[in-house]
Amino acid sequence: MINSPTHALVRSIPRSYKDYYAKKNIDISYGLAESQHEKYIQTLKDAGLKISTVPADETKPDCVFIEDTAIIWQTHALITRMNPVRDGEQAAVEETLKPTHTITHMPSVAKIEGGDVLHTENTTYVGLSARTNSMGAECLKNFLKKFGRPVVRVPVEKCLHLKSGVTYIGDNTLVAVPGWFDMSLFDAENIIYTKEGEEGAANCMRIPNNLLVQSQYPKTAKLLEHFAADKGLQFHPLDTSEFVKADGALTCLSLLW
Ligand code: GLY
């Protein structure tokens, strides 16, 4: 399957994460966020990934959501163009990737964040969202052309990023929120739909023989546990409560290759 990474890049949580969201009346426990982050990293390690960590940037409260800064395909990295509040998070990530990846940049009129990019076996989907525009999608298409991967655009209206509402968990299976996207655009054979009131559960991660899901969504987690058992996967329910409060989830917390 496509998702057979050997490395994960994560980013430490800045202290400013809590303060930034407190100003928006969102109460984040820094200590709990740290312990959830540690558990997440340990799960990636146990799944066999080599972990590297970019230090936190206190001037960038959302920088723990490292997925948005780059799109990686094998040893190539496309550095994204992010929304103004987060723009600048990319620099330290680019420095870290430079020794191992060929770096590609895009013009400033392009906008794209990694949360809008979803790979299945043969296709890459890009969300056209508040964070990703047509030019960003075009840059992604050009970047992936040399790998023979078609890019399909998916309108995103109900959530922040495409992967807030749909992810690919291998074995030709998507997890998606019912009614959020035109599912006829996708080529996967099977779709597991999130249960009512558990929209956040759509964000899952498959790392070869492991399935990571969010434990706060028990009804959907049950469906995903059955899927994992059926496919012989290790099942990892992880609590992401302190990241969901900031519109984050599992995939946002790492870059994989
Ligand atoms: N809080 C996640 C984001 O704005 O990208």
Which tens digits make up the pLDDT trace of 86-119? Answer: 999 999 999 999 999 999 999 999 999 999 999 9
Predicted TM-score (pTM) of this structure: 0.97
CATH number of 7-256: 3.75.10.10
Measured CA to CA, the distance from residue 239 to residue 250 in angstroms comes to 9
Q: How far is C-alpha 246 from the geometric centre of its chain's CA atoms?
A: 14
pLDDT at 2: 67
Active site residue 252: yes
For 27-52, give one letter per residue: b (16+ CB within 10 A) or e. ebeeeebeebbeebbebbeebebeee
pLDDT mean values, one per 10 residues, the chain (257 residues): 86 98 98 98 98 98 98 97 97 98 98 98 97 98 97 98 98 98 96 98 97 98 98 98 98 98
Q: Is the CB of 193 under 6 A from ligand 1?
A: no
Pocket test for ligand 1, best of 244, 247, 250 (most atoms within 8 A of CB): 247
Taking the centre of ligand 1 as the mean of its atom positions, its distance from the CA of residue 230, in whole angstroms, is: 34
Atom 1 of ligand 1, residue of closest alpha carbon: 246
Pocket test for ligand 1, best of 17, 20, 62, 90 (most atoms within 8 A of CB): 62
Q: Which amino acid is at 93?
A: V
Taking the centre of ligand 1 as the mean of its atom positions, its distance from the CA of residue 161, in whole angstroms, is: 9
pLDDT at 3: 58
Measured CA to CA, the distance from residue 73 to residue 60 in angstroms comes to 25
Residue 55 CB neighbour total at 10 angstroms: 11
Contact 239, 200 (CB under 8 A): no
Taking the centre of ligand 1 as the mean of its atom positions, its distance from the CA of residue 241, in whole angstroms, is: 15
Interstrand relation of 102-104 and 117-119 (parallel, antiparallel or unpaired): unpaired
pLDDT at 1: 59
Measured CA to CA, the distance from residue 113 to residue 141 in angstroms comes to 14
Q: Is the CB of 62 under 6 A from ligand 1?
A: yes
Token pair 């049950």: residue: 222
Taking the centre of ligand 1 as the mean of its atom positions, its distance from the CA of residue 96, in whole angstroms, is: 22
Q: Which of 190, 107, 187, 98 is nearest to 142 (CA)?
A: 107
Taking the centre of ligand 1 as the mean of its atom positions, its distance from the CA of residue 248, in whole angstroms, is: 7
Which tens digits make up the pLDDT trace of 160-174? Answer: 999 999 999 999 999
Active site residue 76: no
Measured CA to CA, the distance from residue 37 to residue 140 in angstroms comes to 29
Pocket test for ligand 1, best of 16, 68, 82 (most atoms within 8 A of CB): 68
